[in-house]
């Protein structure tokens, strides 16, 4: 790794640490995520929780690990929601994906699982189930898997179609 790359990673880490150091409001989180999906390329937003058995199943046969590694130009953002344990990185490290360069691990500030308190929408989309996986390009939702585990050949087809000219 050259010095410029190392410096950029260090500054990014310091920025993220500073951002996490103070409590982020749900509105600030939403705005940050909205900005993140504006990229020219494909961005996948994956909502999950550490306690969710369906989320765990997506890691069978290295599902997410293989998909993320096979798609280095796709930004993948895992967003923990609804009462995940605080150490989301530790949970995902069980699946050997936390160091993949195109994966970002985010934590929604409202982790309540109570129906009357929990986060019910994100990026203007209703959230009713986890795992939920959304495929964005240029800030536009192209595909949504809103009820249950992702199937990676189907997700790959969605990514491939999303990269085509629309």
Tens digits of per-residue pLDDT, 125-134?
888 889 999 9
Q: What are phi and psi of 82, to 5 degrees?
A: 55, 55
Beta strands in the chain (DSSP E): 42-48, 75-80, 103-107, 121-122, 125-126, 132-137, 140-145
Q: What is the pTM of this model?
A: 0.83
| 66, 82 contact by CB (below 8 A) | no
Residue-wise pLDDT tens digits, 29-70: 999 999 999 988 999 999 999 889 999 999 999 999 999 999
Does 150 have pLDDT greater than 80? yes
pLDDT of residue 118: 75
Alpha-carbon distance 88 to 106, whole Å? 8
pLDDT of residue 110: 83
Return the domain boundaries, the chain: 23-163
Residue-wise pLDDT tens digits, 15-32: 555 545 568 888 999 999
Residues 6+ apart with CB under 8 A from 99: none
Residues 6+ apart with CB under 8 A from 61: none
What mean pLDDT comes out for the span 80-95? 85
What mean pLDDT comes out for the span 133-154? 92
Place of tokens 């195109």: 102
CATH fold of 23-163, please? Glutaredoxin (3.40.30)
Q: Which of 11-25, 101-115, 136-150 has the lowest mean pLDDT?
A: 11-25
- Using CA atoms, how far residue 37 sits from 44, 75, 114, 134, in Å, is 8, 9, 28, 10
Residues 6+ apart with CB under 8 A from 4: none
């Amino acid at each position: 790794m050259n010095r410029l790359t190392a410096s950029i990673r260090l500054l990014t880490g310091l920025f993220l640490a500073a951002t996490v150091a103070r409590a982020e409001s749900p509105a600030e989180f939403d705005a940050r995520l909205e900005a993140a999906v504006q990229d020219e390329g494909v961005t996948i937003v994956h909502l999950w929780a550490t306690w969710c058995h369906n989320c765990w199943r997506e890691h069978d046969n290295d599902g997410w690990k293989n998909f993320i590694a096979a798609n280095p130009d796709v930004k993948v953002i895992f967003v923990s929601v609804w009462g995940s344990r605080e150490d989301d990185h530790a949970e995902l490290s069980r699946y050997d994906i936390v160091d993949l360069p195109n994966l970002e691990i985010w934590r929604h500030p409202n982790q309540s699982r109570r129906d009357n308190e929990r986060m019910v929408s994100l990026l203007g989309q209703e959230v009713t189930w986890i795992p939920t996986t959304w495929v964005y390009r240029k800030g536009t939702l192209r595909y949504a898997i809103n009820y249950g585990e992702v199937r990676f050949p189907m997700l790959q087809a969605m990514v491939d179609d999303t990269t085509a000219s629309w």
